[in-house]
Structure 1
Amino acid sequence: MWGDRAREFLTPSVFAGPITDPVPVFLTIMAIMLVAPLLFERVRLPGIVGLILAGVVVGSYGIGVLERDSTIILLGTVGLLFLMFMAGLETSLDDLKYNADKAVIFGIATFIVPMALGTVAMLAIGYGFLAAILVASCFASHTLLALPVATKLGIMRTQAVTATLGATLITNVLALLVLAVVVQAHQGSLSLGFWLFLIPALTIYTFATLWGVPKIGRWFFRRFGHDEGAEFTFVVATLFVVSYAAELIDIEPIVGAFLAGIAITQLIPQLSPLMNRIQFIGNTLFVPFFLISVGMLINPRLLVSDPRSLLVAGVMIVVALVAKFVPAWGSGKLFGFQSSGIMVMFGLSVAQAASTLAAITVAFQIQLVDQATVNGTVAMILVTCIASPWVTSRWGQGVKVEAANPTSKGRTKQVQQGFAAAQNLRVLVPVANPSTEDNLLHLALILTKKTAGTLLPLHILPDKQGTIAPEAKIQQSQLLATAETIAHAAVTAVEPIGRIDDSVDKGILRSALERDANLIVCGWKGFSTYRENFFGSAIDNVIRRATVPVLIARFAQPIENTHRVFLAIADIEKSASTFGQTVSLAKSLADELKASLQLLQVTASPRKHTSFNPEELGLSPDTQIQQVRGNFIGRVSKMLQQDDLLILTAGTHPEIIGLPALGVAPEAIARSHPEISIIVIHFPQRS
């Protein structure tokens, strides 16, 4: 019996044509997804190239194991939309705002130059006008294939990289709009009525996506943020709703997928478990389906036998390299960048993958371009995908050296010190309440993962009564297991700690010492009773005795819903030695939460305020900084907004009996604003 089943499994695939049984089809594709990237990465080639070439081998133009049927097309389309969606996730409106002038100049240059050179080159080898423009738009767009290289080098916040990120938004959107117009023209639908419909519809659609999706998303995450499955489903549903809406106004769905990514990235911290799930599912399942399906379109025999295919491939490769180097060199020189910065701009912008594959796939489906163009596109992708990571890695080292030697003095050095800029941070997080555990862990994960550190979730069972109930031990195991799961979902090192100790505060302090923690993150109800102030609550005792910084957090809503990080300080705090660390923490949280950052200095003195210099604090020039005079509690309370994350510093004299260890101001603000999330930072007093 088993021999017959084996023959049924093998015979169709090896001897009688393509596999049709769904199980072997899926098994074959899974094997390709596993083996192809591993083999190509072993020879230092991008895994994307391996998946495309594997599609060539198993497709109907190769050995014919798989047929590009409706199932492959369906999953490939989903993968295409996911690919564009994740490209949008990598592009933030804040990146465009951060270096707006440089991003706009480079974005326009890296669109116009490839469009001009590409159109002329394709017309010269016999392409029609529409086909030439469409292929040229493929040269104009680019995929941030080498972004992980820049992340690994630690140069993501350099001007060369941020300018390229902003330029990516501009050139990709323009290229996709060119695609939409060319498709309409090819189908004979390009008329005055089309433009009268397209421009208002596209304006309304873009506004509704970039404004409406974040609004709806914040409401959804605030209402259902505790359900991780619902969060992921909402994100995926948003992708397909926005993509389908684009199709309704005669725009390619890939434009909608890209805009959906830009809109939704404002709501999801880059290092959060949700973002990790999206990228994991997309990169390991859906996108490989698309890449394999594209490979199945390629006819390698035509590339070898048809001289025109070789000509098309050669022209496309040369134009792609030249058309991306020229704007990078010209813009870089205009901005005053060194050669390493210019080459990083070129390396990041030269890769052709996502938008290029999307556009050529659409064009081939409507028979605007032929098989030779598809083959030439794949050859171009192969060359640029090899060149992009190599160039970025080779010259990114120079940018890293330049970034490590800042020209600004004074406080810039101070801002870069402390736990917020440390490496391998070990963050201790006591967990006791399942309803507040998620936010505390996410806060700790932001700091831990950013520094490649380790999360130390801690649960303490006090043994004051001598015996520990079995139910308490079970709850301890469950809480720590949940914390460990969240950390693993965010791909973060974790060391769960279950402990029995005299008291909660002693257990926290002893665990911090034993496990070499350099930061403690504690939950807080937002107030303390007079009895707790006099005798000392667990939080008070931790603050008074801790030898490492302590973050005390009260979250009124999911941390992902933060719209503004609001740092409020008094005059005396500005001159403190730890002020730089406080600003650095606020900036890190704002960057990670995709939130705006505002600084408020409140002084009771009528004398003239000393001004802030954003660049000396390591902040962008457009950071909102305000200085006011008056009562600290009153001034801060008036400026608070919904979805704020307020950051305060603890009192300077936590040892005074009868007063809250955090100080009077944090408790007063927390009591009067229960709807506001608050983080209070305490630094140990140095003797």
Structure 2
Amino acid sequence: MFLALSGITLPLEDPILKFLLILAIILAAPLVLNKLRIPYLLGLIIAGAVIGPHGFNLVLRDSSIILSGTAGLLYIMFLSGLEMDVNDLRRNGWRSIVFGLYTFSIPMAFGILAGYYILGFALHSSILLAALFASQTLIAYPMVSKLGLARDKSVVIAVGGTMITDTLALLVLTVIVGLSTGKVDQAFWYRLSGSVVACIAGITLLFPLIGRWFFKHCSDNIAQYIFVLMMVFLGAFAAEAAGLEPIIGAFLAGLAMGRLIPRTSPLMNRIDFVGNAIFIPFFLISVGMLIDYRAFFKSWETLEVSAVMVVGVTAAKYLAAVLSQKTFRLSRDQRTLLFGLSSAHVAATLAAVMVGYNVILGHTPEGEPIRLLNESVLNGTILMIFFTCTISTFAAQRGAHNIALSGGRTEEPDEHDERILIPVANDETVEELVHLSTAIKTPRDKGGLFALNSVSNHLQDNGPDIKRAKTALRIAQKTAAAGDYPIEAMLRYDVNTVNAITSVIREQRITDLVMGLHHSQGRIDTFLGNTAQGVLSQNSTMTLIYRSKQPLSTIQRHLVVCPAQAEKEAGFPRWVHRLRNIARNTGARMIFYGTETTLRYIRELNGKRAGEASYHTFDDWDEMLGVANDARRDDCIWLIMSRKERISYQAPMSRISYYLSTYFPEHSFVLLYPEQASNTEAHYLA
């Protein structure tokens, strides 16, 4: 009645009302579903079915919904590639290949047998039906990622295996359609293999080069996000042009861009936020709009095909997960998570069934088209999507929650309370100081950041110096907030900056001090500056002095030069842990230079991740030319320093300004002064 009186007709045609309805569903779904204990992802799919053309017909699945849904699917695949650690993927690469072959070959066998012997399909139709069984969609990945399990072994295996099985399934689709239409010849195989290799090589090799150049030359936040979004669709288009499914290109784009987008960066926070708020919910709702409950009642053949497809594909995917568990010695919860991630069928399945449905092999005497896949398979696929998404969501939720509760998060907690102080004085260096500070933090630890600006006691409250100090603090707050990091800004009136920093270190129990290298103002000025030297002489806190020549996100490698006996200093474990955090958060590679003894201790502290770094024997700091010869354009140089009269102090450290200006004039660098014992006694590792 209300709709009639207001002149509103169904389905809704006003774009404002359509968008308003979908936003209301996205907003209300978590509130309602949490009470009913229905997973959020499944709830959005159900909501899509309710408002879609087969439900109350509130919204048609028109081009705008299809566009938003496609963007959401590509976004999911891009995020899965972006959050994938290349080293984890390399370490588990063979496992992904084996799982991919399991989850492809077992459903293929089930599908061919079911299609040919149970449903009575022709051989080509049975093989194409089997390709529907084999393909899978990572619909539960956003939920798993939110729980901090993106780097769990089972998740890495599932993501890598999905790329393999989807690629193989879609290649089967391409070949079967070609055989059915008589288009397969010798040139067909050359074109297919050449285009696939060119696509994969182009994305993995060219995208990082393009991205690094762009991020170096553009610091605008909006432009950076639009650029990333453009690369997602460019990768998807390249894959589509090569005869692959666009989701493969989106995943490869995320994998290629991963090292340019640190996990702690504001850009990563924007990508996560927009994806989880808009793109991914739109995709799930668009999937729900495909579900037609009336398909149950259309014909017995539809019910038979649906039952065979749902039971067959679920059994096949579960068997693949069980075999993977036995092969890789996974836990039961990891097996459940692996099954949950690999059992949903949406993207590649829809692509395959629509292609098969649209291929007409001939006509019956009555003029009816003979299709490669008939209408019963099309309706059965829609029902299979609903059931497999339901099974996938519940299974992934159960496995992921059990792993998280048992302490299976892939991010290791820091053994120290991280409280980082950033003195900000120069507006131009504030952002990079904040980026470095968030990069050295343990992943998912958002607290413990402080920004400080010190002014003289004699300055007026509204004077220009006070305004500049407040501006620098606002920049620090804005930069940290963009990465979802709260930062406490402090404006201190004191007799001098050294006294202000020292006081805050004691008051706030600061563990890490991140400072910018000051600008030299004359011949009598020292390399570090009076402030840094004063702080180092009065405090034992770990101090990082940073000069940035390019954005931290574009750094490919960190070259860490360690002095002899560095392992005997009290702060040795802390700075090794901080460097490990940088490697995890930015994806950059660590290369350590030091004595055999020091490198052995670093390997022990790095533990399982020791193999992801390189270690080179280096004994004499006067031979810094050797490190310079190894350095590349996009490297950052780390020099592990020591205060005078400490165990690891060496005479060449007094000539550090000469080394840096001579060998590394265009490189970013960090001078790291480790935490010192409170007395003159050395702290030896056990």
Output the TM-score relative to the length of structure 1. 0.85
Identical residues among aligned pairs (%): 31
1:522 aligned onto 2:511 = no
Identify the match of residue 246 of structure 2 among 250, 253, 264. 253
Q: Which moved more, 1:49-58 or 1:239-248?
A: 239-248
1:47 is the counterpart of 2:43: no
User: C-alpha displacement at 1:203, in angstroms?
Assistant: 0.9
Of 370, 378, 392, which residue of structure 1 is paired with 2:378? 370
1:253-273 Cα offsets, whole Å, 9 max, x none, are 333222222222231112221
2:640 matched to 1:649? yes
Deviates more, 1:213-222 or 1:388-397: 388-397
1:204 counterpart = 2:195 = no
Which residue of structure 1 aligns with residue 189 of structure 2? Answer: 195
Alignment match, 1:409 = none
The answer to whether the 8 Å contact 1:580/1:617 transfers is no
Find 1:12's aligned residue among 8, 22, 36. Answer: 8
SS at match of 1:496: strand
Aligned partners of 1:479, 1:302: CA distance in 2, in Å? 62
1:215 is displaced (CA, Å) by 0.6
Cα pair 1:448 1:492 within 8 Å, conserved: no
Matched position secondary structure for 1:493: coil
Partner Cα separation in structure 1 for residue 654 and residue 449 of structure 2: 30
- Give the equivalent residue in structure 2 for 1:25: 18
Read off the aligned partner of 2:660 and give its amino acid letter. Answer: A
Task: Show the counterpart of 2:615.
Answer: 625
1:5-404 map, 5 Å: 10-13=6-9, 17-123=10-116, 124-126=118-120, 129=123, 132-134=126-128, 136-144=130-138, 159-181=153-175, 189-224=183-218, 226-303=219-296, 306-352=299-345, 368=373, 369-395=377-403, 397-398=405-406, 400=408
Q: Distance in 1 between matches of 2:482 and 2:88?
A: 26
* Secondary structure at 1:19 match in 2: coil
Which of 594, 599, 602 matches 2:592?
A: 599
Give how far 1:574 is off.
Answer: 3.8
Which string of whole-angstrom CA distances, capped at 9 and with x for unpartnered residues, describes residues 143-181 of structure 1?
A: 555556766766665544544454344334444544555
In the alignment, structure 2 segments of 5+ residues that lack a partner are 360-370, 680-686
Instruction: From the superposition, tell whether residues 70 and 347 of structure 1 become closer, same or farther in structure 2 (CA, over 3 Å).
Output: closer
Please tell me whether residue 503 in structure 1 is matched to residue 496 in structure 2: yes
**Residues 386 and 100 (structure 1 numbering): CA distance in 2 closer, same or farther, change over 3 Å?**
same
Deviation at 1:576, TM superposition (A): 3.6
Q: Structure 1: which 5+ runs fail to align?
A: 405-415
Query: In 1, distance between residues paired with 2:519 and 2:658?
Result: 9
How far apart, CA to CA, are the structure 1 residues paired with 2:556 and 2:655? 23
CA distance in 2: counterparts of 1:100 and 1:387, whole angstroms: 24
Instruction: Name the SS of the counterpart of 1:266 in structure 2.
Output: helix
Evaluate the alpha carbon distance shift between residue 64 and residue 150 of structure 1 in structure 2; reply closer, same or farther with a 3 A threshold: closer
2:675 is equivalent to residue 684 of structure 1: yes
- Aligned CA distance change for structure 1 residues 344 and 295 (closer, same or farther; 3 Å): closer
Is the aligned partner of 1:589 residue 2:582?
yes
8 Å CA contact retained: 1:149, 1:393: no
Secondary structure of the structure 1 residue equivalent to 2:460: coil
- How far 1:661 moved relative to its partner? 12
Given that residues 614 and 620 in structure 1 are in contact (C-alpha distance below 8 angstroms), is that contact kept between their aligned partners in structure 2? Answer: yes
Once the two structures are superposed, residues 643-665 of structure 1 have per-residue CA deviations (whole angstroms, 9 ceiling, x without a partner) of: 11222212241799xx9999436
- Relative to 1, partners in 2 of residues 1:219 and 1:33: Cα closer, same or farther, differing over 3 Å? same
Q: Which amino acid aligns with 2:393?
A: C
Report the aligned-residue RMSD: 3.7
| Alpha-carbon distance in structure 2 between the residues aligned to 1:590 and 1:535 | 27
- Whichever residue aligns with residue 427 of structure 1, its letter is I
Cα separation, 2, equivalents of 1:469 and 1:27: 46
Instruction: Find the residue that maps to 1:453 and give its secondary structure.
Output: coil
When the two structures are aligned, how many residues end up with a matched partner?
658
The alpha-carbon deviation at position 590 of structure 1 amounts to 1.6
Structure 2 counterpart SS, 1:454: coil
Shifted more, 144-153 versus 476-485: the winner is 144-153
Give a deviation string over 1:272-304, Cα, whole Å, max 9, x none. 211121222222212322222222222112235
Q: 1:239 to 1:634 in 2, by over 3 A?
A: same
Within 1, Cα distance between the matches of 2:88 and 2:5? 52
> What secondary structure does 1:218 align onto?
helix
Distance 1:54 1:126, change over 3 A: farther
2:464 aligns with one of 471, 474, 477: 471
Residue 577 of structure 1 and its aligned partner are, at CA, apart by: 4.4
Aligned to 1:413: none
- Between stretches 492-501 and 365-374, larger displacement belongs to 365-374
Q: Alpha carbons of 1:25 and 1:166: their partners in 2 closer, same or farther (altered >3 Å)?
A: closer
CA 448–48 in structure 1, closer or farther in 2 if over 3 Å, else same: same
Deviations 1:534-560 (A, max 9, x none): 996111222222343222221110000
Q: 5 Å matches for 1:556-595?
A: 556-595=549-588
Alpha-carbon distance change, 259 to 154 in structure 1, aligned in 2, over 3 angstroms:
closer
Please give the alpha-carbon distance, in whole angstroms, between the structure 1 residues aligned to 2:269 and 2:173: 31
Deviation, 1:133, is 4.3
Distance 1:572 1:530 in 2: 34
Query: Relative to 1, partners in 2 of residues 1:157 and 1:485: Cα closer, same or farther, differing over 3 Å?
Result: same
Whole-Å separation in 1 of the counterparts to 2:604 and 2:137: 31
Could you tell me whether the CA contact under 8 Å between 2:575 and 2:674 is conserved in 1? no
Q: Distance in 2 between matches of 1:163 and 1:289?
A: 27
Q: 1:347 to 1:382 in 2, by over 3 A?
A: closer
Q: Distance in 2 between matches of 1:548 and 1:69?
A: 60
Relative to 1, partners in 2 of residues 1:641 and 1:32: Cα closer, same or farther, differing over 3 Å? same
Deviation string, structure 1 residues 548-598 (Cα, Å, up to 9, x no partner)? 322222111000001112222122224444333333222221222112222
* 1:379-438 deviation digits (Å, cap 9, x = unpaired): 11112111111123225545739x99xxxxxxxxxxx8xxx9246633222222232222
Distance 2:563 2:580 in 1: 18
Q: Which residue in 1 is equivalent to 2:657? A: 667
Q: For 1:524 and 1:181, locate their aligned partners in 2 and report how far apart those are by CA, in whole Å.
A: 61
CA distance in 2, matches of 1:484, 1:128: 65
Cα distance, 1:131 vs. partner?
5.3
Distance of aligned partners of 1:115 and 1:518 in 2 relative to their CA distance in 1, 3 Å threshold: farther
CA distance in 2, matches of 1:45, 1:674: 58
1: CA distance, partners of 2:384 / 2:671: 58
The answer to whether structure 1 residue 436 and structure 2 residue 437 are counterparts is no
**Structure 1 SS opposite 2:453:** strand
**d(CA) in 2 for partners of 1:613, 1:467:** 50
TM-score (norm 2): 0.85
Tell me if the contact between 1:52 and 1:291 (Cα under 8 Å) persists in the aligned partners: yes
Local SS of the residue matching 1:491: coil
Q: Would the alpha carbon gap of residues 153 and 547 (structure 1) be closer, same or farther in structure 2, given more than 3 Å must change?
A: farther
